[in-house]
Amino acid sequence: MRAFKILAGLVLATAILTAIILAAGIMANHSRTALLDAASERIGRLVGRHVPRLDPVKNAPKRLAARLAAHGLAAGQPVFVRIFKEESELEVWLQSADGYRLLHTYPICKWSGRLGPKLKEGDRQSPEGFYEVSRRQLNPHSRHHLAFNIGFPNAYDQWHGRTGTYLMVHGGCTSIGCYAVGDANVDEVYSLVAAAMKAGQSSVPVHIFPFRMTSQRLAREHDNQWFDYWANLKEGHDAFEATGSPPKVSHCAGEYRFNQSGGDGCALIAAW
């Protein structure tokens, strides 16, 4: 009963806040949306302390069970996520006894901005780079159905002075910096991420690229201001392609490095 009273109070507070913001009309639409996303994230965490979360395996969509069986995989195996902006695709890989296998490529319904990194809060730009997602970044009570925070800004972003908050993969089909994959797809992706963490994976790597990182595609951007940055991202992309295992990613003095043991000025890209 206490949990339901807390939940009711939080829901009422959110409704009042939402009504005030929308009625006043004193903010730009994207600012109102960002504020509501922030409120949803914080309230989701509070609710999660008092209301039990659905079991990610028992409540996964039936089609996910069939998809897993067809690939000889199971919920709870370690997960790796890759996102490709230009193609609007999100890949989910699971680790099996013989390495990582691609389970499925999910269409992204909406991302925002253009090719290139996110630079500052409010630029409506979806991030690119290397991120880690821990259990505390999951939000099963998101206003976008289900969501997980990708962990922007990471150590690399912070070194470059980049700012932004509440950048997520979530359901629905709206975005002011997030990756919206639709409710049906996020049911599957979230279930797999949550199941992997329940089984012991401490964090899930999420690697976000501007496009499929072939040498030919990158060469077309030779005069782009982000060419060197994308070439650095390609190193991480190619490390996975070469080994079949997600590389350990570090930030070292303004650039990403991969599978490096350490060194002065280096920090491992970590989850929150």
Known catalytic residues are: 170, 178
AA letter at 97:
A
CA 159 vs CA 153, 154, 216, 256, 266: distances in Å: 9, 9, 30, 11, 11
Quick one: tokens of 203? 């964090």
How many whole angstroms separate alpha carbon 83 and alpha carbon 69?
A: 24
Residues 10, 44: contact at Cβ < 8 Å? no
Judge whether 45 and 139 are in contact, CB under 8 Å: yes
3-state secondary structure of 186: helix
Contact (CB, 8 A) for 84 and 75:
no
Nearest to 229 by CA among 206, 211, 247: 211
